[in-house]
Every structure is written in structure tokens, then in C-alpha cells.
Structure 1
Amino acid sequence: MDSTSAPGPAEPARSVDPRHALGEFLRARRGRISPELVGLTVGGRRRVRGLRREELAQLAGISVDYYVRLEQGRSTQPSAEVLDALARTLGLDEAERHHLVNLACARRTPLPTPRVTPVLHSMLTALGAGLPAFVTDHRLDVVAWNPLGAELLGGAGDPARRDRNQARFLFLDPAARAAHPDWADRAAEAVGQLRVASGTRPDDAELTALITELSRASAEFRGIWESGEVVMCRAGRKRLHHALTGTLTLDFEALLVPAGPGGTGLVLHVFSPGGDAAAAAALARLAAAVAAPVLAATA
């Protein structure tokens, strides 16, 4: 994916149907497995990318008819043994296996709506001006922040400066490509996280509407979504760009606040310069700029 390319033209309106999510995920993952990788001999041209349905079924030890019904959504709640065989054959990682189970096991009761508790607000305040922090929900809406965290995100505290939904900002706002030097990686993460959320909350109408909106408006979103990427963000390093500091390379931790057993709730994102003195100095300059209006108002 070219991180400098502009969003592609919208294709005809198409809705995302959570009921077909299992089949779409299986097809996408099947498409990335080359026959040679699993020891199959291929002769001549193939009309499908990756494994054929009958090849995957044979390798997983299940009937072709049953696998077809899974992809078509005509069979629900496969056994743990079947899911394990499919995950093993498709080479799924931990996040993808978890997502497969969520898609296959219909949720009987909806998960509670995540909320920012007073304790979580206190944590954001306690982090103070030194560490940027913000909270996102399962739709990637920024729902709470400290001042430095909001500014690091390009003004997430002010709806006039940027959309508070991270995915909508990334794919529909040209400013996102300057704010995120590694835009392609951040875009893939956002889509992968929305896919995880859609598996745990198939009845969330707002989430489905967001995914449908982005699928219609952004060819790049559609391409990543259709690849079946699954991402569970935990910790690492990210580069962010701000007009006052230039490009910053920061460590980050993503701390999960579950909304219910097995469900995606809120995520507390905390950034730190680590041992990077230049990054620490840049964050200090940004923190001073953020605090200046407050100090002037209270003087």
C-alpha cells in the first residue's frame, strides 16, 4: 500500500452485514494460503487465489459440503475441534484465532456499553502533563483524554480540528497522513481493530454503520477490510508528527478495560519517550504549549 496515495474513488454503495462475517473472514484467510505452502501440487492456471474450498476442507479434515455451508453462513456454531482444525490449516495467529471463535460463536446477550469511569478519568489526570494519554472505545472513538494526549493526536479535544473517530480521521482526513508518518501501518491497525470489534459486537448498529461508511468512501479501507486483517494493539513504538515538535518516536502501551467477559471495551493509550532524550524534550515543549493558555487564564 502506498502511504502517500490519495483515497480512491468511492464504489457503489455496499453495506457490511455482520451475519456474513465468518464466511468473509474464512474466504480472505483462505485466499492468502498458497497451495505450495501446504504441500499441494498445482498444475496449470488456477481461477482462485489461494486454496480452493475443497482443498481447505480436505486439509482441515472436514467435509466439503460442511465447509461450504460455513462460508455461506448456512451453518452456525461449529465445534471447537472444527475451529481448531481451520485455524491450524489457515495458519492463524493468536489474534486471528480469537476472532474466528468470536465470529463462530453467536453471542446470546449483548455486551454492556463501555463507559469512562471516574477512576479512569482520575488515571488520565494523574498522568499529568508529562505523558500523553487518551481512551478509545471499540468503534475507535476518542472518548477521553488528557490535554497533552489530545494535542498529540492533532487536537482530538476540539471537534472543529479533527474527527474524534480514529478510523474516520485516518481514511477521510488528508491531515492524517502528515500526522502519522507510518500511515499505512496505522491504517491497517485501525481496520484490524474494527474487525475484532465487529466480531464481538455483531449487533452494534453504529459500528456497522461506521464500517459501511468507510467501505463506501475509501478504496484503501475496502482493500484492507477485504484482506481480513485482524489486529489487537498492545504495545510498541509509534511515530507521530506535530507542527510544534516535528516527528516524535514514542513508546506506547495499550491497556485494555473490558466491557464484559470476552468483549472489547475501552483502551487506555499511554505514550512515553522512554530513554529518548530528544523525544522527552520535544514532549516537554508540547506540554508547555498546551499549558500556556491555561496558565494565562488563571494568572
Structure 2
Amino acid sequence: MGLALPCSGEGKFERMSGTVDVAHELAVFLRARRERLAPEDVGLPLRRRTRRTPGLRREEVAELAGVSVDYVIRLEQGRGLRPSPDVLDALSTALRLSDDEHAYLFDLARHWSAGRRQSGTEAASLSPVVRALSPLPAMVIDHRFDIVAWNPEMAWLMLDFPELPEDQRNTLLLCVLHPAFADFYGDRERVIREGIADLRAAWAARPGDTALADLVERLRSSSEEFARLWERRDVHVNGQGTKALVHPRVGPLAIAYDVLTPLGDAGRRLIVYRAADAASEDKLNTVAREARGGTPALRAV
């Protein structure tokens, strides 16, 4: 049985018509990144008079990036400009963007930044690899966070995935909206915030993906928590990390996870969980025994 998750809704958010409004998002992203910086962050002297707005002034960004003030204004007003790679690099440096934010900026402007490549043909199924990773919990997700393969240990640890309708097998959708995950993470907001920052990078890289845009709109319309964190415009692709879980059967456990991307299929990720401490290792061993022993996973109700 699947959860009756909201599929749409009226609200305060303007619908994105199935694709990314690139000019608007580029404008808002640049403005948000300008406003988070103080003059001392970029080596500029503090001005004596009180600033009316937070962050750097447009004039200061223009000076740092070597472009005109009018150009910065037009970019932040979303007038449809498409900056060159050189200008994007200059803006990225001026705004002290991280590597992920730099890539996000290039994606919005429809340029491929150095070191990035487009996805090739779809790789062979990773299902056998996922099964071979037992007893470690493992699953494969795509760029939309849809769960496309898993082993019994991951299903037992998280949720009985086969019971869910296919359109609900999405890690971020479950984390944000499914009641079983309301208290599942010890630091829920951090987990969701990191997931959203990762999702935003995929969203910008695929502006024509209507299914991805629909997922973002569905989450924004259905969850004030998601909507608030989405507006932060954080961008970060997670390759590894830790999570504190509070499992209803085995109790608290600390998980370290790794995210692997197969060559030729950058749209898919293999996620592997392992114990972060000795106590959690014992509990993951319990998970493996229960999963292989046929004990039912948590019901998706």
C-alpha cells in the first residue's frame, strides 16, 4: 500500500511550467551569492557609512569581476543575458563560489565548465552489483533521486520499497513527506538541506527535464520545510558523509555513506552504507540477519 502523498496543490509558489526559468534563476542565484558576502570576505575595505542592503554592492562585484556595473544589474534583473565562460569564471571568482556552485552557474548559463562532461549512454544495470554488496545496505538512485535498485538490507533498513508505488520510490520525496521518516534521522534538517542542495545542481543541469521540475514543484507545494530550504539556493553534490539514524527496530545507529557514479552514466549513483562505529556495526549485522532471514521490512503504509 502506498502513501497518499500530495501530487499538486495551490499555494504561494509560481509554477515553473515544467522547465527551469534560466534567466530568473541565474539572476536570483547571483543576487543571493552577492548578498551573502561582506567586503572583508573579498579583501575590500569596510565603508564607514551604513549599508542599506546586506552583502556586497553591485559596484563591488563589477569591480572584482572586471565587468560593468550595468552588466551586473542586467544579469540580476534577469534580462536574458547569456554570459560567456570567461565572464562566468570571473563572477565565480568574485563571488567566491564553491566548485559545486561554479558548476551550477555554468549549467544555468548552458555552458559546460572545465572538467565536466555530459552523460554518455546508459550503463548496464547495476542491480547485480547492488546485490553483491550485501550485507552492506546499498541502492541505486538516478538524478531525480528515484530509487531504481536496492538490496534486501537497504529495504529492511529504510522501507519496504516493493510495496510503494513506483512514483513514490524517491529518497527525497520519502524523507520530506513520508511519516515513517519524520523521526528517522537524528539531524533531519541537515539531511534534507544536503539533499536539496544536491537536487538543485541536477535541476539546473537538466532544465528540460519536466519530471524533475514536477518533482521540485510537488515538494515545494507540499512541504513548507522543503520550500524554505529550497529558497536558500544552496548547491552541493555529496560524495560521502555520515548520517545518524533512529531506527524503530534496532535503535540509534551511525552510518557512513559513499556515493559512486559509474563511468558513462553520470545520471545514476550507487549509494553504499556502512557502520561509522562499533556499536552501529553490530546493529547493521542485525539488519543483515533480519533481511536475509525473511523478517518483513517496515511497511510502507
**By how many angstroms is 1:114 displaced?**
7.9
Query: Is the CA contact 1:14–1:215 (under 8 Å) kept in the aligned structure 2?
Result: no
Cα distance in 2 for partners of 1:113, 1:243 equals 41
Q: 1:192 deviation in Å?
A: 0.6
Gaps of 5+ in 2: 1-8, 113-117, 297-301
Structure 1 stretches of 4+ moved >4 Å: 111-116
- Structure 1 residue 68: deviation in Å? 2.3
Q: For structure 1, which runs of at least 5 residues remain unmatched after alignment?
A: 1-8
Aligned to 1:22: 26
Greater relative CO, 1 or 2 (CA 8 Å, sep 6+): 2
Could you say which residue in structure 1 is the equivalent of 2:87? 82
Q: Which residue of 2 aligns with 1:265?
A: 267
> CA shift at 1:164, angstroms?
1.8
Alignment-derived partner of residue 128 in structure 2: 122
Deviations for 1:240-261, whole angstroms, at most 9, x for unmatched residues? 222221111122110013666x
The AA in structure 2 aligned to 1:292 is G
Shift of 1:64: 1.7
Aligned partner (choices 61, 66, 69) of residue 64 of structure 1: 69
Question: Are 2:164 and 1:159 aligned?
Answer: yes
Q: Is the 8 A contact 1:145 1:157 kept in 2?
A: no
Query: Which residue of 255, 258, 261 corresponds with 1:256?
Result: 261
Is 1:222 aligned to 2:227, yes or no?
yes
CA root-mean-square deviation: 2.8
2:130–2:150: 8 Å Cα contact kept in structure 1? Answer: yes
CA distance in 2, matches of 1:98, 1:212: 23
Shift of 1:54: 3.0
- TM-score, normalised via structure 2 length: 0.82
After superposition, the Cα gap between the structure-2 partners of 1:115 and 1:293, relative to the gap in structure 1 and judged at 3 Å, is farther
- How far off its partner does 1:106 sit? 5.2
Q: Secondary structure at the match of 1:293?
A: coil
1:175-210 Cα deviation digits (max 9, x unpaired): 323111111111111111111101210100011111
2-structure distance, mates of 1:203, 1:101: 16
CA contact 2:257–2:273 (8 Å) conserved in 1: yes
**By how many angstroms is 1:281 displaced?**
1.5
Q: Structure 2: how far apart are the matches of 1:51 and 1:216?
A: 32
**Structure 2 counterpart of 1:33, which letter?**
L
Compute the displacement of 1:31 (Å): 1.9
1:170 paired with 2:175, answer: yes
Give the fraction of aligned pairs with identical amino acids, expressed as a percent.
Answer: 37
Distance 1:258 1:15, change over 3 A: farther
Q: 1:137 to 1:259 in 2, by over 3 A?
A: farther
Task: Return the alpha-carbon distance in structure 2 between the equivalents of residues 114 and 42 of structure 1.
Answer: 57
SS at match of 2:231: helix
Q: Within 1, Cα distance between the matches of 2:21 and 2:246? A: 35
Q: CA separation of 1:147/1:252 partners in 2, compared to 1, >3 Å: closer, same or farther?
A: same
Does 1:188 pair with 2:190?
A: no
Letter of the 2:275 partner, please give it: P
Q: Could you say if the C-alpha distance between residues 61 and 106 of structure 1 is closer, same or farther in structure 2, counting changes exceeding 3 Å? A: closer
Moved more, 281-290 or 172-181: 172-181
Residues 1:288 and 1:115: Cα distance change in structure 2 (over 3 Å): farther
Aligned to 2:150: 145
TM-fit CA distance, 1:222: 2.0
In the TM superposition, 1:202-221 aligns within 5 A as: 202-221=207-226
* Corresponding residue SS for 1:237: strand
Deviations 1:58-108 (A, max 9, x none): 22221122122223333444222211221111111111111111111258x
**1:84-99 aligned within 5 A:** 84-99=89-104
- Any conservation in 1 of the 2:123–2:262 contact (CA below 8 Å)? no
Partner Cα separation in structure 2 for residue 70 and residue 51 of structure 1:
15
Amino acid at match of 2:106: V
SS in 1 for 2:79: coil
> Which shows bigger deviation, 197-206 or 284-293?
284-293
Tell me the residue number matched to 1:5: none
- Aligned residue for 1:257, secondary structure, equals coil
TM-score of the superposed pair, with normalisation by structure 1: 0.82
